[in-house]
Amino acid sequence: MKFILFLCFAGLLVGTLLAKLCKEEIPKGKKYFNIIMRGCLALVGIKIMYNFKISLTVILGIIVGYFVSMLDYLVLGAALVLLLEPVTSGLIFLYGMPYGSLIKGKAKDKLKVVMINFILFLLPLLLFIGNVNLRYENEIAAFCAAYLITRALKWKLPML
């Protein structure tokens, strides 16, 4: 479990490193990075909808996904807890690489964004540590799926 957690989040660190090493390629690839990020969010959301019974919290997920753009890693962490599968962790890794590449600012600002996202990513994992039988698993899954698909359709990069 711990290895998968750090492997998933390593995508953000790899993306930040790639941005530092290949500065001249980032403006050219920005369009494709956004497409990759949208696709990963949509695929994780669809995978959640496929594996869980969807409830009325979809409406809340759509509203939050439309208006709040900083919770991507919080929801991806919850998706990882719900779907502890290699496909999900791979998609989160693939989401993090372009996300990390597109973070703008000085090294101190980039570190702040990475740390905030790491804390948000850890919160669901800390809350659901162990094999706790979640009472509202379907509601959490419905919220996550709706949030991720809404973010994939209405795209505005947070803090970039």
Residue 110, in any domain of the structure: yes
In-domain check, residue 147: yes
Q: What is the per-residue pLDDT across 60-96, written as a single tens digit (0 to 9) for each?
A: 888 888 888 788 899 998 888 888 788 888 999 999 9
- The verdict on residue 36 lying in a domain is yes
Q: How many domains does the chain have?
A: 1
Q: What is the rounded distance in angstroms from the CA atom of residue 62 to the CA atom of residue 101?
A: 27
Tokens matching residue 139: 């509601």
Domain containing residue 58: 2-153
| Torsion, Cα of 51, 74, 124, 140 (10° steps) | -40
Within-domain flag for 94 = yes
Residue 160's pLDDT band, with cuts at 50, 70 and 90, is very low
CA–CA distances in Å: residue 32 to residues 39, 72, 101, 105, 114: 10, 19, 12, 20, 21
Angle of helix 137-153 relative to helix 57-67, nearest 10 degrees, comes to: 40
Is residue 105, in this structure, part of any structural domain at all? Answer: yes
Q: Is residue 159 a part of any domain in this protein?
A: no
Q: Is residue 124 part of a domain?
A: yes
What tens digit of pLDDT does each residue of 100-130 get? Answer: 988 887 888 888 999 999 999 988 887 776 6
